[in-house]
Amino acid sequence: MGGNATKVDSSSWNSQVMKASELVMVDFWAVWCGPCQMLAPIVDELATEYTGKVRVMKLNTDENPEIAGQYQVMSIPTILFFKNGQVVEKLIGARPKRAFKEIIDSLLSKSSATA
């Protein structure tokens, strides 16, 4: 999985996701998951479009089952949005890019209003 989204795993989870000050979007995926493969280019496009505003990460659930279990990720793709180490939004299943942009823009406007 090349592209612009950053790979995260159990060793980098705390520093990359839990301690991040900006909004973090984590794509929980697996190699064998068809909808995950369809979603991958959208996730990479979002990583590019929101550079400097949103940290876009990808977590392979087969390689990191303990993190997937910690957040009750039962089906993939699941996208979790984190702010200050807390889950602020959860999406399950592949969605059109527009749906992700609406959620990201909404979460960014909330965080800038409270900043």
Rounded average pLDDT over 30-58: 96
Contact criterion met (CB below 8 Å) for 56 and 104: no
* Rounded-to-5 percentages of helix, strand, coil across the chain: 40, 25, 35
Residue 26, H or E segment: strand 23-29
Q: Which residues are catalytic?
A: 33, 36
Where residue 59 falls among pLDDT bands split at 50, 70, 90?
very high
Instruction: Look at residue 26 and tell me whether its pLDDT is greater than 70.
Output: yes
Domains annotated for the chain, with CATH where assigned, are 6-114 (3.40.30.10)
pLDDT computed for residue 2 by the predictor: 42
